[in-house]
Chains A and B, each alone.
Chain A
Amino acid sequence: MNRTFSMGVLLFPALVFAQERYATRTGEVTFHSETPMENIDAVNHKATSVVDLASGQVQVSMLIKAFEFDKALMQEHFNENYMESNTFPKGEFKGKLAGFTAENAKNAGKYEVTLEGELDIHGVKQKRTLTGTIEVDAAGAIKATTDFIVKPADHGIKVPGGVNVAEEINVKARMDFLKM
């Protein structure tokens, strides 16, 4: 199933239920690795996400090569040695949203939500339940945030001994959605 078709499958019902579909192409995802020797931080400004409030379906996708580091060598090692991004170019989460409906989207407020689904990193999928917050402002703009831990080992990512990468990586995501 190619990229256009798979995103299209999620997007097609937008023609019918457009008012309950929200999307962004500029979601921000950061990750933080902390060790006594060194901290590593990276940011991706191009996460794509689609949410269908009628069904609760959520999809988040990002290109691994779009993560930016401060140091050139770190970025190179991240892509070539750990994430093997030529082979596994994307990280994705597909799941179901609970705790926020189309009705909530009409009212300003803060909502605690859960996302239950599958996290696909480095070609290895793991079932995950994530918690997050959705904020609706007075103008109806929707912002979703979440943070969670990823263990590289759970996704087949091999980090050689002696390398300053933590066993648990802190990931944060922020999506400012637009109505489709």
Chain B
Amino acid sequence: MKRNLLLIGLVILVLGGVVAYYMYQKPAEKSVSDEPELVIGAQELLAAFQADETKAMATYARSEQVIQVIGTVRSVDRSDPAKVNVVLETGDALAGITCEFEPAHAPDWKEGANVKVNGVCAGVLMDVLLTRCAAVE
């Protein structure tokens, strides 16, 4: 009986170790796959950050929170070999929503296209930044 308990304990320990190792080694997602928690327009998102950055961070940029942004493409920049940057129109010439795509996941969008993007919001500098972006078909 004691021996069986020990064996079971050992198996649980080993299994736990395997799971922990797997969790630790799990690669970071380069492009989000989860469903978005909320949907917002590009103009509305920028306005929220301009009005109250702290509140906007708590609403749209929580840890690992996936959001969907709807907007029109202002520009597509493929000059950086590491990232494709799509900027969505906000009505503010100095600020847009920058959507950062891995080149392998970057959509073939053109200026003026109406689009939807899933991503994780990192906050705002001059633009609001959406990372790990995935185009919504």
Question: What is the interface of chain A, defined by CB distance below 8 A to chain B?
Answer: 2-4, 7-8, 25-26, 28, 43, 45-46, 48, 61-66, 68-76, 79-80, 86, 89-90
- B95 in the interface (beta carbon within 8 A): yes
Contact A63 B125 (CB under 8 A): yes
* New A-B contacts (7) at CB < 8 Å, excluding given A3-B53, A65-B120, A72-B28: A8-B94, A26-B85, A43-B82, A65-B61, A71-B26, A76-B63, A76-B64
CB–CB B127/A25 < 8 A = yes
| B70 CB to nearest A CB, Å | 22
A-B pairs under 8 A by CB, number: 88
Pick the contact of B126: A2, A7, A43, A66 (CB < 8 A): A7
**CB–CB B57/A25 < 8 A:** no
State whether B80 touches A26 (Cβ < 8 A): yes
Q: Which B residues are within 8 Å of any A CB, using their own CB?
A: 23-30, 49-50, 53, 57-58, 61-64, 77, 80, 82-83, 85, 94-95, 98, 100, 120-127, 129, 131
The answer for the CA separation of A25 and B87 in the assembled complex, in Å, is 12
Q: Which residue of B lies closest to A79 (CB)?
A: B63
For A72, what are the chain B residues with a Cβ–Cβ distance below 8 Å?
A: 26-29
The chain A residue with its CB closest to the CB of B51 is A2
Taken together as a complex, chains A and B put the C-alpha atoms of A46 and B29 apart, in Å, by 18
Q: Is the CB of B80 within 8 A of A45?
A: yes
Instruction: Please list 23 pairs of residues, one from A and one from B, whose beta carbons are closer than 8 Å in the complex, sorted by A's number.
Output: A2-B50, A7-B125, A7-B126, A8-B94, A25-B125, A25-B127, A26-B80, A43-B82, A45-B82, A46-B98, A65-B120, A65-B121, A65-B122, A66-B100, A66-B129, A68-B28, A68-B131, A71-B24, A72-B26, A73-B23, A76-B63, A76-B64, A89-B123
